[in-house]
Structure formats: structure tokens, C-alpha cells
Amino acid sequence: MKKNLEGWSLVILGYWDPRVITPAWLLQNKLTNSKTIGVALPQNNFVLPPRFEYDDIYLKVSNLKLELAPKFDQNNIFEQIKDNALLILQTLPHTPIQGLGVNFGFIDENPDANLLALFSMSDDAKISDCNFIITTKNIIRSVTFDFDRQEQILNLNFLLTSNNHVKLDINFHKSVQSTTEVSEFLADGILRFRDKTFNLLNELYNIEII
């Protein structure tokens, strides 16, 4: 199974003001040593926020969330994402916060029989007997668990597409009420979530990430 980096991100849910976090603001507050910030505007959907790019990091901010995403799977990028998030929280300490998510995406374009077996449902034959054609299958699981002595929610979303590809999205979620709580949670970094994800997929589904 391959990484789908479009699904990798750190998301902080709350009430943000996109008018504050601008390229000029990012440079002024020294989130990067770069002298310029790239800006990409959404195509055909101007409701979506612009995407800022610097140091192999993508940053988007809307009214309800701040999102930082890595351009590549590299340890130093994850460390900078953590540091940038902490700096933003410290600079805007009164921002109302509701939750925190760490997300990972994967795709297997040639899934083996063991992975496809996850999508074998008890009603498949009955659906076929009714002359229906199953085009996609979606398995969603939400579990609670203790990770580093903190209770969290883990959401797993397996999707079998019409062209027989398997897509997997993983979300670690924690409810938080303040920028201070988020800062304390991020103090240990977010690399541990990537490592936890890889170990979990191997232990539960014998999936190796390439």
C-alpha cells in the first residue's frame, strides 16, 4: 500500500480568522526563513481557502480550521509542522479551539486477496440476486484508545472503489478546549502518530507501507 500524501495533515478545529493568517503574517512571525510564500487559489470553487506553500509545507486556514500538511514524508517536515502550529497557537492564544486531528491517507491500486476479503459482506449475494450492481464499498470504524496516557478517538475509513482500488484514511482525533491544551498535546510531536499508524496497519491487516 502506498502513501497518499494528499490525505496527510495536522488539523486544528476552532474559530479562525483567515484575514489574520496571511503570507505577510507568516513571514512577520517567522514561521519560515523563506523570503516568499507561495499562494495557490482553488480552481472552480472560490469558497475554498487559498493554500500557502513554504519549506515543503502546505498551510490552509478557513473559518473553522487550520490545516498544515507535509509535501513529503520526512521527519524534519513533521517537526517543522509541529513547531509552526505551536508558534501560531502562542501568537494567537485566545483563538477558540474545539478539536485536534492528525490524518493519514493511503491507496492500494492492486490489493491482494487478504485486503479485499475485508469487503466481503454477508448481503453481497442477496444484493446481486436483486439485480443490483455494487459499485463501491465503504467500511468505517471509530474506536477509543489510550495513547501516551491520553484518551483519543481513532477513525478508520476503508473504501473499495469501482476500479477495485482500496483507499484508506486514518484520523486520530482528540477533543481540546484551548490553545494551551493543543500546545501540551503537540509538545511530544506528531511523528509518533505516523509510526503508530504504520504499526497498526501491520499488526491488524498485515499491510506494509511503501
- Show the low-confidence residues of the chain (pLDDT under 70): none
149 sits in the region (left: phi over 0; alpha: psi -120 to 50; else beta) called left
pLDDT of 193: 94
Its pTM stands at 0.93
Residue 94: all three cell numbers together: 485566545
pLDDT of 29: 94
Helix 179-186 / helix 75-91 crossing angle, nearest 10 deg: 160
pLDDT digits (tens, 9 = 90+) for 108-149: 999 999 999 999 999 999 999 999 999 999 999 999 988 777
pLDDT of 150: 75
Would you kindly state where each structural domain of the chain is located, as residue ranges? 2-205
